[in-house]
Chains A and B, each alone.
Chain A
Amino acid sequence: MTSATPTTEPWSVLDAAGRLRQDDRIPSGTDALDLQAAYRDMVLARRVDTEAIALQRQGELGLWPSMLGQEGAQVGAGSALRVQDVVFPTYREHAVAWCFGVDPVQLLGLFRGTTMGGWDPRERNFTLYTLVIGAQTLHAVGYAMGIVRDGDVGTGDPDRDRAVLVFLGDGALSEGETNEAFVWAAAQNLPVVFFCQNNQWAISAPFSVQSRVPAAERARGFGFPGVRVDGNDVIACHAVTQAALANARDGGGPTLIEAVTYRRNPHTTSDDDLRYRAGSENDEWATRDPIDRLRALLTSGDHSSQIDEAFLADLAREEEELAERLRSGCRALPVPAAGDPFLHTLESMPRDLKRQMDEHLAFVAAAEGEHS
């Protein structure tokens, strides 16, 4: 993981044909990536994405930001977490949420219009999706400050030491808040890992609009290591995230990981990507698909014993069950009560807000009376 230059290829160990290159930076023993589990996670997370797009097409969701093509980066990163670690996602980390045990049905609420959040961040240490680009990088830094003050860093106790993993995209590299977060993390040597999925496109803006050097290279200027990794290589992504998180938990400070990948779908279901990029680019990236690469490894050569027909048949069945659960779960997501926004604005409702709520509820009740 040498320092990157514009011509430096991202670090990779698994090629497109599924050949695994031996490298002592691939963790072994209890730190090793469970390849079978990683394959299952990528396939099921992709199914969540596919089903969500279908639900949007059917009018069940208002919008969906697809992560197609980014499963390797996300499962690689997500599988390197320990339960006590904390994740600050953007709005596209569906596979990280999957790895960290967030119920995928809960991911749908924000996009269905039944909630502005969807899950209890404290249950899984997976905070709410953040739509304002880069804003979560500072929250991650603050949380890491809390970890330091709690004394949960560098104790050597694997069940106690914690780190923060915060996700960002290539567009977020240009936000002032992201750069402030880098400054804070460096100056205070905080236990935070910045995981940048450079998927090449910030809606219609190519990476060249954001930066003339690879993202990873920026880290050195802030005073911490930057690592450039093949984002479609789940084994490499796991290895670099595992090392960066371990370093952070030990008190070694922050790392910026640039996972070079590609957003195969439009920015969201409302976007039209063929207005700004050629379909041939997408075809090219399809040949580097993270799931295909791992399947090739696991069905041939040294690792061919890892998955067999029975495993794949079970997984296909599991996918169908998951899809059905998403479809029915989505339609069953509870619509909030008209009074809920008033109840959740402040801890105790001020008198004038109570007046507004009463007025609104009376209006809603009357309107419902008319319609019934």
Chain B
Amino acid sequence: MSTAMAHALNASLRDAMKADDKVLLIGEDIGRLGGVFRVTDGLQKDFGDDRVVTSPLGEAGIVGSAIGLALAGYRPVCEIQFDGFVFPAMNQIVTQLAKYRHRSEGQISLPIVIRIPVGGGIGAIEHHSESPEAYFAHTPGLRVLCPSNAQEAYDLLGQAIRCNDPVIFLEPKRSYWSKGDVDPSAPSVDMERARIVRPGNALSLVTYGALVPIATKAAGILAEEGHDIEVIDLRSLSPIDDATVVESVRRTGRLVIAHEASQTCGIGGELAARVQAQAFYELEAPILRVTGYDTPYPASRLEEDWLPNVDRILETCDLSLSH
């Protein structure tokens, strides 16, 4: 059945709430409105306002109260309305949520999911197109997931809710209305492992989220030119599955990493460091990155070329292949 990612996420929340009455949702406008992206559409009507809580407008309050709820035995799923609005909650996420298990010497888990729509490409105004994943991946004690399609959005969100660790769940907002087949009864993927989207032996092209279909399209074009590109979807940004990438690079000898987030200290830099440490002698070319630039996110009239698009990915792959 072809389903939009937003509907798959809605179904996943619904199934999680049915399966465990300790699961509850907190966020701004998630009740009657169903959230600004409608991911929680209809859930307050079906589960009541005790379990689908329209919060006051305060992101620290959303995450801070979720910590208290988790200490009281609940499994809160927070919604942050937009990527650019998560920063008021960063204190609670970094100094409290991420550290609690360590501080309690493993005695107390905080099973909290923080859903955040991320990324650009929708012509949005300021603060609505950010890619904050590296901040979270840099923080020990958090898991960071980012699905790229409807089936994995359903599956990974369900796993995130069942997981006892705090999970930052990044939803690529321009993929919300991309459709794909969803089978709720399909076996779960391993949420710590990357997925080989398209096998190949000429170059490893690694990305995640909204860039997965774009990278796949670029690989299709390169295939017509005789280059067999392997596309890998990381899915998990923390922990990061370098093993799958290293295994791929050992076969291809070349690695290009694509992400929307700015380049410096991004996921790409981390992955490059890990791959060169493990596959130094198998590399045929320098590891290259194609990313957003080290500028604030630009006005939306500039975003098409600022973001890694098919052409920028092709250019970077060509550069790697020419070595």
Contact = CB atoms under 8 A, between A and B. Distances in A.
Mutual binders A and B: yes
Interface of A: 115-117, 120-122, 127-128, 130, 132, 135, 137-150, 176-177, 180-181, 183-184, 187, 336, 340-341, 343-347, 350-353
Interface of B: 24, 50, 53, 55-56, 58, 60-61, 63-74, 76, 88, 91-92, 95-96, 99-109, 140-141, 143, 163-165, 192, 239-240, 242-243, 274
B104 A120 contact: yes
For A132, A144, A145, A346, which residue has the most chain B Cβ atoms within 10 angstroms? A346
The list of the 4 closest CB pairs from A to B, nearest first, reads A142-B68, A138-B64, A146-B72, A350-B239
- Most B Cβ at <10 Å: residue of A132, A146, A184, A350: A146
7 contacts: A117-B104, A117-B105, A121-B71, A141-B64, A176-B60, A346-B101, A347-B163
A132 B91 contact: yes
Given A147-B72, A187-B56, A345-B141, A177 B239 contact: no
A312 to B, nearest CB: 39
Nearest to A350: B239
B10 to A, nearest CB: 22
B242 A142 contact: no
A130 B64 CA distance: 13
Contact of A181 (B64, B74, B192, B242): B64
Contact of A127 (B24, B71, B143, B274): B71
Contacts of A345: 101-102, 140-141
Contacts of A142: 64-72, 76
Contacts of A116: 99, 102-103
B104 A180 contact: no
A176 B163 CA distance: 30
Contacts of B67: 138-139, 142
A137 B67 CA distance: 11
Contact of B102 (A144, A184, A344, A350): A344
Contact of B68 (A132, A144, A340): A144
Given A146-B74, A149-B74, A341-B102, A141 B96 contact: no
Contacts of B143: 346
Contacts of B65: 138-139, 141-142, 145, 184
Instruction: Say whether chain A's binding surface is mostly helix, strand, loop, or mixed.
Output: helix
Contact of A132 (B95, B100, B242): B95
Contacts of A120: 104, 107
A347 B92 contact: no
A141 B66 CA distance: 9
A149 B50 contact: yes
Contacts of A139: 64-65, 67-68, 71, 96
B64 A352 contact: no
Given A122-B108, A341-B102, A345-B141, A146 B61 contact: no
B72 A177 contact: no
Contacts of A115: 103, 105
Contacts of B58: 180, 183-184
A320 B277 CA distance: 59
A143 B72 contact: yes
B164 A117 contact: no
A132 to B, nearest CB: 5
A115 B68 CA distance: 22
Given A135-B95, A138-B64, A139-B71, 11 more contacts: A120-B107, A121-B108, A138-B67, A139-B68, A141-B61, A141-B64, A141-B65, A146-B71, A146-B73, A184-B61, A336-B105
A366 B141 CA distance: 28
B96 A135 contact: yes
B85 to A, nearest CB: 14
